[in-house]
Amino acid sequence: MDNNIVLEFKNIYKEYPGVHALKDVSFELRKGEVHALVGENGAGKSTLIKTCSGAISPTSGTVVVNGNEFSNLTPLASRENGIGVIYQEFNLVKEMSVAENIFLGRALRNGIVIDKKAMNEKTVELFRQLGIKIDPNVLVKNLTTGYQQMVEIAKAISMESKILIMDEPSASLTNRELDALFQIIRKLKNEGVAIIYISHRLDEIFEVTDRVSVMRDGELITTIDTADSSRDELVRLMVGRELKETFPEREVKKDNEIILEVDHLSGNGLTDVSFNVRKGEILGLGGLIGAGRTEFAQILFGVAHATGGSIRLRDEKLEIKSPSDAIEKGIALVPEDRKQQGVLLHMSIQDNITMPILKRISKYSVINRKKEKEIIEKYKNSLRIKTPSTEQLVNNLSGGNQQKVVLAKWLAAEPDIIVFDEPTRGIDVGAKQEIYAIMDNLAKEGKTLIMISSEMEELIGVSDRIVVLAEGRVTGELQKEEFNQESILKYASMS
């Protein structure tokens, strides 16, 4: 059997200050197998992949490729040893043709002239082998994401990769494209290529993989034959852990009035989404990345627009064209990407806090400084933003304190409904607890909270009720007493 091992991770550790991203991970990939790597977000899958693509080097441990042992694999050595990685984000030049992309950086030449004809012929040949039907002359920008994915795969294969790593290749594919992908995978497998297949969709794993390895909290829990396993077992393995964090005790108010009614909402990636939110409730939105949760928040906040259906606020149809409309209606959004969307890094804490209400506290366009100061002090103190001065640039604050600035900014606007998109992403444990306490208090004060979270513990711990989305549709709703990780994951991976 040993001769068949093409790639082996030996006792890999990767430590970042305060975090063990990978703990003693050992894993082997055999020739001609399709090996699934599964785990929740943040389980360490991508980090592990990066140690063999050469993007990062492990703190300790080695990677063995074709019998060569590396403690620090470089991207070049990785490629030279036949490892091809297909990332979620494509590395294609959109303004170039398909063939030019396939041969990017190693264009076929005739003297100093690029030999377009030869490249096209080779591309056609490659596509024929893979059963891909794409015109090599088409510009990549004119292809759908699914076809771009195919080109990316073909590119990796054309480099004669013996080991192919696919990081969520199906995320942007339609069902038909997915079938084509599976055919390619089977073909490659028959030719002896070893494939690591990362996916959140359990159906695919059972359809196309031979073995499956489960990762959790930076550790490799187990490797089993796919055929001997079941969906339920995989889900249990993926989530099987105790809740580590404590969440505020919440009293669920089931008979509060319905404040927000989402009615057959479509557009911006959503299809026929309906649910209600009650006053004083924390509604959790569960699902995978791209399931339509952030997309819903975008529509509610006026960043994107619906093509069908409606949202009703207190029985009144909402017409929101821009974030300023949303703010006026009492809606706030704590966005997913804090540094890019949440705060103005180059401005001071105080400038950030009053930005949405500046107009409100101005008379004849002149800002009422006294009022501004009062508001800044009030929210700085109530949220306990740790800083020597509110004139400090937000850039210089920790993630947790930056998030508090975002919260302060929205609380100052006195909204009724606050959407939290991944409220504690990249925030340390201590600050997380504070954010949870703040959220709990807000709900108790009668504010309505909608929380989008990819962290299972957080979703279960904080929410009063959970609506799960998958591929732009609502696939399930759970009351507090029905919360469990298995059913949420099951709904989330429905398609």
Partner 1 sequence: MKNTTFFQKYGIVVVLAGLIVFFTIMSPAFLTVDNLFNVARQVSMIGITSVGMMFVMLTGGIDLSVGSVLAFVNVVCAYFMVKMNMNPWAACLLCMVISAGFGFLNGVIITKWRVPPIISSMGFMNILSGLAFIISGGLPIYGFDPNFTIMGQGYISIIPIPVIIMIGIFILGWFILNKTYFGRYFYAIGGNEEAAKLAGINVISTKQMVYMLSGIFASLAGIIMLSRLNSGQPTTGTGFEFEVIIAVVLGGVSVNGGSGRIFGVVIGVLIMGILSNGLVLMNVNDYVQDVVQGIVLVIAVGFDCVSKAKSESKLKESVKNKGNAVSA
Instruction: List, in sequence order, every residue forming a beta bridge with 216; answer none if it has no partner.
Output: 219
Among 106, 244, 346, 370, binds partner 1 (CB under 8 A): 346
Q: Positive or negative CA dihedral for 363, 367, 369, 371?
A: positive
Among 44, 58, 342, 472, binds partner 1 (CB under 8 A): 342
Shortest distance, position 295 Cβ to partner 1, whole Å: 15
Binding-residue total with partner 1 (CB under 8 A): 45
Q: Which of 96, 114, 355, 494 binds partner 1 (CB under 8 A)?
A: 355
Task: State the CB neighbour count (10 A cutoff) for residue 270.
Answer: 27
Among 2, 3, 19, 89, binds partner 1 (CB under 8 A): 19
Q: Which of 281, 351, 458, 464 binds partner 1 (CB under 8 A)?
A: 351
Q: Given the complex with partner 1, which of 67 and 426 has the nearer CB atom?
A: 426
Among 207, 429, 441, 479, binds partner 1 (CB under 8 A): 429
CA distance readout (Å), 374 to 276, 309, 356, 361, 485:
36, 41, 16, 11, 44
Residues 431-460 that bind partner 1 (CB under 8 A): 431
Check residue 246 for interaction with partner 1 (CB under 8 A): no
326 lines the binding site for partner 1 (CB under 8 A): yes
Min CB(282)–partner 1 separation in Å:
22
Tell me which of 26, 398, 441, 479 binds partner 1, using CB under 8 A: 398
Nearer CB in complex with partner 1: 38/413:
413
Residue 17, interface with partner 1 (CB under 8 A)? yes
Report if residue 104 touches partner 1, rule: CB under 8 A.
Answer: no
Q: Which two tokens stand for residue 79?
A: 């490629």
Phi–psi pair at 434, nearest 5 degrees = -65, -45
Task: Choose the binding region for partner 1 from 11-19, 120-128, 262-270, 285-293 (rule: CB under 8 A).
Answer: 11-19
Order of strands, sheet of 68-70, starting from the edge strand that comes earlier in the sequence:
19-30, 5-16, 60-65, 68-70
Answer yes or no whether residue 327 interacts with partner 1 by CB under 8 A: yes
Out of 292, 400, 472, 476, the only residue in the binding site for partner 1 (CB under 8 A) is 400
Sequence-distant (6+) residues with CB within 8 A of 329 are 313, 318, 320
203/338 Cα distance (integer angstroms): 33
Q: Which is nearer to partner 1, 81 or 348 (CB)?
A: 348
Among the candidate windows 26-34, 105-113, 327-335, 374-382, which touches partner 1 by CB under 8 A?
Answer: 327-335
Residue 342 C-beta: closest distance to partner 1, Å: 7
Binding span for partner 1 by CB under 8 A among 14-22, 80-88, 93-101, 483-491: 14-22
CB of 78: closest distance to partner 1 in angstroms?
Answer: 24
Q: By C-beta, is 447 or 465 nearer to partner 1?
A: 447
Sign of CA dihedral 218, 223, 226, 232: negative
Q: Which of residues 288-307 bind partner 1 (CB under 8 A)?
A: 301, 303
Instruction: Specify the stretch interacting with partner 1 by CB under 8 A; choose among 156-164, 234-242, 316-324, 465-473.
Output: 316-324
Site string for partner 1, 77-96 (x = CB under 8 A): --------------------
Q: Which of 359, 373, 444, 480 is in the footprint of partner 1 by CB under 8 A?
A: 359
In this complex, which beta carbon is closest to partner 1, that of residue 309 or of residue 323?
A: 323
Which residues would be at the binding site for partner 1 (CB under 8 A)?
16-19, 301, 303, 322-324, 326-327, 333, 335, 340-347, 351, 355-356, 358-359, 362, 365-367, 386, 392-393, 395-398, 400-401, 409, 413, 428-431
